[in-house]
């Protein structure tokens, strides 16, 4: 395998959320909840819901097209597709192969990875490693996409108010110019002992789908909300501190902090602990709820489109999700 000195440049980021909006007031007509409760506990005002028949690969393709267009390349220039998802179109094959064919591509390698809400950070690590470790790829398409409403129990008010559908994508392009390098550092971690905090019990090899698993609602997203809340703050704080410290940086060296968009209270707690001023924090959880692994890519794209994140901006992004998994990345645009 030939190897020249290469760096990974993020040429573009794109995102997609479905048109249909489900507000807190809409939810309060379906279950025993209220706009006041949801906003006070989560900061979420509304979320996006996929249209009938719109599946995870469709969300991913929309985000991919936006990133490809912004990068000024054509789909044919992409030579590897990575999809971070926990709501794949089918148990197998991967969602990435459906994305490949919907983009009109063939033969290029494609695979999924499953790390839930840390999808952006794990995806950055994967794309960066693949691009810089060989000369095989010029443009890697990273997509994180989930149709979380496909695993939502609309009768469970403790979880259904939190989630939304969406996808984010990024084009990682190989460059030999170190000054164009976008990935300053990535840190990843996981603790499988805590798997029970967030999971879908049935539909896998441990409990294949059956009439009984459906009757018992075991195909739905389950969460121990209070434990997740506590662990999210503890782990993301640790991650952020560690990656900043090992790069000799502080929050003052960072222009924008993009934390996993699960709950505004979690973001505010981290802001307080890490002393991050309001103007450095990107928030989209109010509009989109928790879109799983895509949430950080969607937030970066939203703030880039508003003109706040610009060329040269340094971003610290921290994610946390089912597994438990976590990750942090420092990027330069």
Ligand X SMILES: CC(C)(COP(=O)(O)OP(=O)(O)OC[C@H]1O[C@@H](n2cnc3c(N)ncnc32)[C@H](O)[C@@H]1OP(=O)(O)O)[C@@H](O)C(=O)NCCC(=O)NCCS
The residues carrying an active-site annotation are 117, 260, 290
Q: Which residues, in sequence order, are CB contacts of 55 under 8 Å at separation 6+?
A: 89, 147, 150
Can you tell me the distance from the alpha carbon of 331 to that of 10, in angstroms, rounded to the nearest whole number? 9
Task: Give 283: exposed, middle or buried? Use CB within 10 Å, 0-12, 13-18, 19+.
Answer: middle
Q: How many residues bind ligand X (CB under 6 A)?
A: 21
39 contributes a contact to ligand X by CB under 6 A: no
64 contributes a contact to ligand X by CB under 6 A: no
Q: Which of 93, 151, 146, 140 is nearest to 116 (CA)?
A: 146
130 contributes a contact to ligand X by CB under 6 A: no
Can you tell me the distance from the alpha carbon of 300 to that of 70, in angstroms, rounded to the nearest whole number? 14
Closest approach of ligand X to the CB of residue 137, in Å: 30
Q: Supply the Cα-derived Rg of the chain in whole angstroms.
A: 19
Can you tell me the distance from the alpha carbon of 105 to that of 303, in angstroms, rounded to the nearest whole number? 30
37 contributes a contact to ligand X by CB under 6 A: yes
71-90 positions binding ligand X, by CB under 6 A: none
Can you tell me the distance from the alpha carbon of 81 to that of 142, in angstroms, rounded to the nearest whole number? 6
DSSP state of 122: H
User: In terms of CB distance, is 103 or 231 closer to ligand X?
Assistant: 231
DSSP state of 51: P
321 contributes a contact to ligand X by CB under 6 A: yes
x/- mask, ligand X, residues 259-298, rule CB under 6 A, reads: ---xx--------------------------x--------
Closest approach of ligand X to the CB of residue 226, in Å: 5
**From the list 11, 33, 271, 317, which residue makes contact with ligand X (rule: CB under 6 A)?**
33
Is the Cα dihedral 290, 294, 298, 300 positive or negative?
positive
Closest approach of ligand X to the CB of residue 168, in Å: 15
Closest approach of ligand X to the CB of residue 264, in Å: 9
Can you tell me the distance from the alpha carbon of 259 to that of 318, in angstroms, rounded to the nearest whole number? 5
User: In terms of CB distance, is 41 or 138 closer to ligand X?
Assistant: 41
User: In terms of CB distance, is 290 or 317 closer to ligand X?
Assistant: 290
Can you tell me the distance from the alpha carbon of 167 to that of 174, in angstroms, rounded to the nearest whole number? 23
Closest approach of ligand X to the CB of residue 322, in Å: 7
Closest approach of ligand X to the CB of residue 303, in Å: 20
Between the CA of residue 223 and those of 88, 119, 163, what are the distances in Å?
19, 18, 12
DSSP string, 140-161: EEEEEEEEGGGS--TT-HHHHT
Contact 174, 131 (CB under 8 A): yes
157 contributes a contact to ligand X by CB under 6 A: yes
161 contributes a contact to ligand X by CB under 6 A: yes
User: In terms of CB distance, is 40 or 90 closer to ligand X?
Assistant: 40
86-125 positions binding ligand X, by CB under 6 A: 117
Closest approach of ligand X to the CB of residue 320, in Å: 6
200 contributes a contact to ligand X by CB under 6 A: no
Can you tell me the distance from the alpha carbon of 300 to that of 298, in angstroms, rounded to the nearest whole number? 6
**From the list 42, 56, 139, 317, which residue makes contact with ligand X (rule: CB under 6 A)?**
42
221-260 positions binding ligand X, by CB under 6 A: 223, 225-226, 228-229, 232
Binding-site ranges for ligand X (CB under 6 A): 33, 37-38, 41-42, 117, 157-158, 161-162, 223, 225-226, 228-229, 232, 262-263, 290, 320-321
């Amino acid at each position: 395998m030939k190897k020249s000195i290469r760096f990974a440049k993020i040429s573009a980021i794109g995102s997609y959320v479905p048109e249909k909006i489900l507000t807190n007031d809409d939810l309060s007509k379906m279950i025993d909840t209220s706009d006041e409760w949801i906003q006070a506990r989560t900061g979420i005002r509304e979320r996006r819901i996929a249209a009938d028949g719109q599946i995870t690969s469709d969300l991913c393709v929309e985000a991919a097209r936006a990133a490809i267009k912004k990068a000024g390349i054509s789909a044919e220039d992409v030579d590897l597709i990575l999809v971070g998802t926990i709501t794949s179109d089918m148990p197998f094959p991967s969602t990435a192969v459906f994305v490949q064919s919907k983009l009109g591509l063939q033969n290029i390698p494609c695979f999924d990875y499953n790390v839930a809400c840390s999808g952006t950070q794990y995806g950055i690590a994967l794309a960066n490693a693949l691009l810089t470790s060989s000369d095989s790829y010029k443009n890697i398409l990273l997509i994180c996409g989930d149709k979380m409403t496909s695993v939502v129990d609309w009768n469970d008010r403790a979880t259904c108010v939190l989630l939304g559908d969406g996808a984010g994508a990024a084009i990682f392009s190989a460059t030999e110019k170190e000054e164009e390098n976008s990935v300053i550092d990535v840190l990843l971690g996981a603790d499988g002992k805590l798997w029970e905090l967030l999971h879908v019990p049935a539909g896998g090899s441990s409990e294949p789908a059956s009439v009984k698993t459906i009757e018992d609602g075991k195909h739905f997203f389950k969460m121990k909300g209070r434990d997740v809340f506590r662990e999210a703050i503890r782990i993301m704080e640790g991650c952020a501190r560690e990656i900043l410290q090992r790069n000799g940086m502080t929050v003052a060296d960072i222009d924008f902090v993009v934390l996993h968009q699960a709950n505004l209270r979690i973001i505010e707690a981290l802001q307080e602990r890490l002393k991050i001023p309001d103007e450095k924090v990107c928030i989209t959880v109010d509009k989109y709820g928790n879109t799983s692994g895509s949430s950080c890519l969607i937030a970066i794209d939203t703030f880039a489109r508003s003109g706040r994140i610009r060329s040269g901006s340094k971003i610290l992004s921290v994610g946390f999700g089912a597994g438990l998994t976590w990750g942090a990345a420092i990027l330069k645009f």
